[in-house]
Amino acid sequence: MLLDNQSGVNYDAIVIGSGISGLTISIILAKEGKKVALFERDKDIAPLIRPYQREGCGCSPGLHISGWMAQGDVIDSFFRYLNVTDGVEKGLVEKGLGRVIIGTNQYHIPNGFDNVEKSFLSYFPESAEAIHQYIRQVRKVNEESFYLNHQMAPNIKNIHELMSSDSYTLQEYLKQYNAPQELIDILGTLNNILVGSTADEIPFKVHALVLGGFYRSLGFFTIHGINRFLANSKRELTRLGVDLYLNSEIAEILIDNKQAMGVKTVKGDSYFASTVIASFNPKLLNSQVKCDMLRPIYRRRLEEAENTFGFYVAFYKIKLDQEFEDFTYFDRNSGTILGVTFNHSGDNKVLSAMLADYDQGFPINSEGKKGRAEEKLRLLENLLYDKMPILKGKAVLIDYLKPWSFERYTKTVNGSAYGIKQTYNTMGFQHRTPIHGLYLVGQAIYPGFLGSMISSFALACEFFDVNEFWPRVINQ
């Protein structure tokens, strides 16, 4: 139900932000019988992944590809429970993750664990033990999580273990088996472009959670599929009685005696609930909780948490009637990383090229921003046409997004691609905060599209009896 602002309304739960995690937890809670309000500062839900039209083509800044996309896999189970599957166009990518280009060397990453292992062995035959142990451990991490392995019985201990700190990074794990630096760079590049952390930063457990799904069953959503998923989500919010407040930015999370009480909007309206769930970047809590209820050590952790890189995204309409393979490029000397994916928008093919930007500071004036944007676009296009010369003269630029554009939506430093960076020293945030009744969901808990959904189901497992709730999720 879409409502105008009103004061004094009471709910079981208030959710702030209507991205993937905000939509997911709102539908879960409402489906399980709770009275829920969902607040979104934009004019419509999911502004960061919502496709828009340019020159007859659909463009979407996010949610193109994901792991665990086969029928019966975890995303299929989640979508069925949420009742958002109908009409959502998606398909498996039989060729796998495509190419990873390190300098002048190219490596193909196919579909399926066994095929990935064979591919790596063909490139690095002298590193058989490192490759075998890597694949074995990635599979083990995934098999030991009941979120992903539906043959396992759910338990709260398993939830907390998955969220706990790891004992080694991806790089440390590979080096103990004498893996070559080139192999570390390949896996680190994939990890960086997918969740924003490098091989020497990412806990192995998080890497395994993300890449394991891409190895197992990589799939894609068409532009129509993304639109349909969002439309279905909005339909379910209405059907389940969730009150959706659009154009409603939260100014303050109301706290009384270390207990969440509700929220106050920038327009001055107050809404009340004993449970408040924030799906935004956790760093914003320092401004949203306007009292001394957060301990100094927690505030400091919020302040010191590092964001992932910002990014420039160029969208192109392709005039060639043929299929293309996604690729990721990494230059070890300059640190340049470029990710290129292809999607379908009706009869058109759309290329999305994402160039990572690690500079945390933006030019202040418009002239400085224009100069940097032009410089980055030249670099992006030089790399694109160098790696895919067939596209030169055949790709028409239809839109170009900059980090400061994303910053307006995310309110995070440098418009970070994935919010809080997952590192060995900072293994994300927990659902619970020092404020009773105030919780976090989203990429700060688990990274990526799947991670955002898992974070919401994991929180629900804490709210409800996991032995009763989880079977309802996986047996739809």
The tens digit of pLDDT for each residue in 195-230 reads: 999 999 999 999 998 999 999 999 989 889 999 999
pLDDT score recorded for residue 162 = 64
pLDDT top residue among 456 and 8? 456
362 shares its domain with 388:
yes
Band of residue 158 on the pLDDT scale cut at 50, 70, 90: low
The string of DSSP codes covering 145-202 is -TTT-TTSPP-HHHHHHHHSPPSSBHHHHHHTTT--HHHHHHHHHHHHHHHS--TTTS
pLDDT top residue among 90 and 439? 439
Asked if the structure places residue 341 within a domain, the reply is yes
114 shares its domain with 208:
yes
Q: Token pair for residue 428?
A: 């994300």
- For the beta carbon of residue 318, count every other beta carbon within 10 angstroms: 18
pLDDT score recorded for residue 475 = 87
Instruction: Work out how many domains the chain is built from and give that number.
Output: 3
Supply the mean pLDDT for the chain.
91
Final residue of a domain: which of 197, 217, 237? 217
pLDDT score recorded for residue 3 = 43
Band of residue 337 on the pLDDT scale cut at 50, 70, 90: very high
AA identity, residue 146: F
260 shares its domain with 335:
no
- Of 39-53, 173-187, 238-252, the least confident: 39-53
Asked if the structure places residue 442 within a domain, the reply is yes
Band of residue 2 on the pLDDT scale cut at 50, 70, 90: very low
Say yes or no to pLDDT of 4 above 50: no
Band of residue 1 on the pLDDT scale cut at 50, 70, 90: very low
Final residue of a domain: which of 383, 415, 447? 415
- For the beta carbon of residue 149, count every other beta carbon within 10 angstroms: 12
264 shares its domain with 302:
yes
Asked if the structure places residue 183 within a domain, the reply is yes
142 shares its domain with 282:
no
- Of 61-75, 232-246, 388-402, 429-443, the least confident: 61-75
251 shares its domain with 293:
yes
Distance CA 390, CA 392 (A): 6
Q: What is the mean pLDDT of residues 458-474?
A: 94
Band of residue 125 on the pLDDT scale cut at 50, 70, 90: very high
Asked if the structure places residue 85 within a domain, the reply is no
Distance CA 189, CA 210 (A): 13
Q: What is the mean pLDDT of residues 170-197?
A: 96
- Of 359-368, 431-440, 446-455, the least confident: 359-368
117 shares its domain with 200:
yes
Asked if the structure places residue 327 within a domain, the reply is yes
pLDDT score recorded for residue 165 = 62
205 shares its domain with 238:
no
Predicted confidence (pLDDT) per residue in 65-123, tens digit: 899 999 889 999 999 999 999 999 888 888 889 999 999 999 999 999 999 999 999 99
115 shares its domain with 204:
yes
270 shares its domain with 348:
no
Predicted confidence (pLDDT) per residue in 359-391, tens digit: 877 888 889 999 999 999 999 999 999 999 999
177 shares its domain with 149:
yes
pTM of the model: 0.94
CB under 8 Å to 244, separation ≥6 — which residues? 1, 2, 3, 18, 37, 38, 40, 45, 234, 237, 238
Asked if the structure places residue 112 within a domain, the reply is yes
- Of 68-82, 159-173, 421-435, the least confident: 159-173
Residue 329 bridge partners (DSSP):
101, 338
pLDDT score recorded for residue 80 = 96
Buried b (16+ CB within 10 A) or exposed e, 5-33: eeeebebebbbbbbbbbbbbbbbbbbbbe
pLDDT score recorded for residue 428 = 66
Domain that holds residue 273: 9-63+222-306+421-474
Asked if the structure places residue 80 within a domain, the reply is no
CATH code for position 278: 3.50.50.60
pLDDT top residue among 182 and 3? 182
Asked if the structure places residue 4 within a domain, the reply is no
pLDDT score recorded for residue 5 = 44
Predicted confidence (pLDDT) per residue in 232-278, tens digit: 999 999 999 999 999 999 999 999 989 999 999 999 999 999 999 99
342 shares its domain with 317:
yes
